[in-house]
Amino acid sequence: MILQINVNSEKPIYTQIYESILLGIATGSLAPGDSLPSVRQLGGELGVNLHTVNKAYRLLAQDGFVVINKKKGAFIALEFPRDPQSTAGLREALTVLLAKAHLQGVSQKETLDLIQSIFNDFHRED
Amino acid sequence: MILQINVNSEKPIYTQIYESILLGIATGSLAPGDSLPSVRQLGGELGVNLHTVNKAYRLLAQDGFVVINKKKGAFIALEFPRDPQSTAGLREALTVLLAKAHLQGVSQKETLDLIQSIFNDFHRED
DNA sequence: TATCTGTTATACTTTATATATAACAACAAA
DNA sequence: TTTGTTGTTATATATAAAGTATAACAGATA
């Protein structure tokens, strides 16, 4: 569980931890049921406070990607929730991203190829 | 120039203004050369401080989407910069978005259809 | 018993966000 | 010339977010 954190990033540290674990799950490097380091251990490895790690874990648990056992620690969830609102939220976020890229000259084909390439990195569990 | 702002949103007001104008350009409701309201006027309409509007305009100018004439006001840029790093930044941002949607059960086909639909809303200047 | 877990609580610092108010210089119109 | 407009700069203030530091708690485990 080595995880890269950039203290000078514009992104909050807890967001970086959240996204790293999310990507780990999506790409398969973290599997359902896998245990996560304790908040103190990961905080120590990253050189950040345990509350910063705890916030990331709490958000991951809120979204159903992680299950927290108060005494055993945090684990990757066995099943991920099919949030019915995820498509609406996805559309809103994608629109802003694609609009900016579009204006900066990224073509539709280039974008679709990029999406294809990103999906290829995702682990499929079917 | 009516523009919707949600004061209770998790997004900063200046970001909402930035994104609204960006989307206006991408969808064609704002055309190159169009003038934007003065920072005082838009601030008055939205019920926010002129500095909040000014920050949005400043960021838009930084990214090359808007040109600011210190005495005449702000205008949509006539040409948009082809940022060579936009693809790399796009990939990073897209990866997080798609990973989350993927885990929440949004299929690849559904995602590609969504992208297609978003692109259809963009104005093409060729 | 000693150690580990997430959690809660308190306190503190720094930065981000947003507002309020005033003033400036340059331009345009009365 | 005076008046009003523009973005900009400056100063001050208030609130929230982000992050750290430290301590303590309850339950599990070895």
Report the C-alpha gap between B112 and B116 in whole angstroms.
Answer: 6
pLDDT at residue B2 is higher than 90: no
Q: What is the pLDDT of residue B34?
A: 97
**pLDDT interval class at B123 (50, 70, 90):** confident
Mean pLDDT of B96-102: 97
Q: What is the pLDDT of residue A123?
A: 81
Mean pLDDT of B82-95: 90
Q: Which residues of chain A have pLDDT under 70?
A: 125-126
**CB-CB neighbors (< 8 A) of B102 in chain A:** 26, 119, 122
For A76, A117, B120, the CA distances from A110, given in Å and listed in that order, are 34, 10, 15
Can you point out the beta strands (E) in chain B? 66-69, 73-76
Q: What is the pLDDT of residues B34-74, one digit of tens each?
A: 999 999 999 999 999 999 999 999 999 999 999 999 999 99
B 40-69, residues with C-beta < 7 Å of strand D: 40-41, 50-51, 54, 57-58, 61, 68-69
Of A25, A102, A115, the CB nearest to B112: A115
Could you tell me the two tokens for A41?
């251990």
Of B90, B100, B108, the CB nearest to A114: B90
DSSP state of B32: T
Mean pLDDT of B100-107: 95
The pTM assigned to this predicted structure is 0.94
pLDDT at residue B125 is higher than 80: no
* Protein-contacted bases of chain C (C-beta within 7 A): 4-9, 16-21, 25-28
Q: Is B114 on the interface with A (CB under 8 A)?
A: yes
Q: Is B102 on the interface with A (CB under 8 A)?
A: yes
Q: What is the pLDDT of residue A125?
A: 63
Contact assessment for residue A37 and residue A1, using Cβ atoms and an 8 Å cutoff: yes
Residue of B nearest to A110 (CA): B87
